[in-house]
Structure 1
């Protein structure tokens, strides 16, 4: 029989902090309750994570702390018939067994299968991020001890310089890239660094990207989504290349000027404007003629990026289209339809000379 008592506010705060944003909605219904459950009544599912200790924080040390001070942060379980299934807190559960404890304090809540998977996913990401941050701190200490010599650091750890640079970069993340760790969105170092690159070029685009990755966490190819965002904001050379067929309503050549940057926000504004004209039944030539020089350049850069992307991966077109529809890059209407039109035009084009803005718009006009 379990004894039930109101949880202390501090314990609840710790539990919500450990599991991330999804827990608040679960506990808000009636307020959390802590129960003392027998360990033998708790079933543990196979986790995505298989490592439960590192060199700085072993299960043995945690077990010794539990033996001396007890559990400071309850685990989270859900009822399964006459037993319980562990949702979060497997290290505490394992350490309690190691310490010889017969029972453990736990939050008991009704949690759906979807919520269960989301919460385990968030906990695993948080744990991996903490491990990677500690690893980055150790690398930073070694880097400083070696006089800031990346080559010596690479030799000591038998790692490549690019990998070391990405790991050390975790210690100096800008706001949106830091959200990837702080909000348990991902522990993928390459993905986090791609967000960092987007943020360097366009802060609003980075915020939109992180919001999208958070909303679709674990459901889409996050790396593909981030790469598309990075491609949309990276510098593009303006004007047409030698021998290229000019586009309809192309702005004057600016080859003599420095390359410009087409931002995510700029592209979205122009795409929205173009789509509103398509919905009104305007002809492609009429729509393009109404754009000013800058809008034409922005539309050209965004459309050509998708056109070229399709031409570079002919064998992966179906997958790219499905991923684009899932992550919101493509759509049946709106700005995503214009972008999809450019991608499809690239997919059926024999050469890069087939790119024309009027053809892009005619792909999506009814």
Structure 2
């Protein structure tokens, strides 16, 4: 049954506040850029009260932990809180999710955890998608994150490539081959021709190939040009065409030179 309790607004001494770890959906990077938030709070105060549950004289924060940590930096005390007295862990998680609204500030790991938590509670993929505002086609990506090897999760969390790419590679290739491919992609620059060529080749692969076999296939110059046209951002393609015109190589000649340089570095 959904929580119907109406919280009371109270000013709570910071010494009585503590983070409710199990209920917070933002567990990764919660302490980053706190100085900037602290200065904003110093200038404007806390616009949105923290959400807390009172338990035996302590107040457990389940939404607003960054505001709490930033306030501690500048010595702000007490803090405005909306206090719940009868709130289950599940309902606290739902409220925490509602406040964070599946924002960009949530890490990939936090988003995947949120999907897993709501699916366990609702048992309905449709309801999870409705609650979080995500497409049904994206749900397997978030669920697949938990099946990634630890190293692959770390690459996603560090922004080396997105979750969808990592989960797709892990599902398509054998585990060792998948990790070798992900490592190779992580060593290329984002939005570079090198990355575009490699990602395109990985996308065309059947899943039985090794990285070496994929690279061998990349040596087919005509396929490489087609891959660029199909997989690269249009703006990047225009820049590449200008470069080809300037060097008087033509698109195929430019791609060939870039491809050979990339393969020599591999």
Band the TM-score falls in, shorter-chain normalisation: 0.3 to 0.5
Rg (Cα) greater in structure: 1
- TM-score where L is the length of structure 2: 0.44
- TM-score where L is the length of structure 1: 0.34
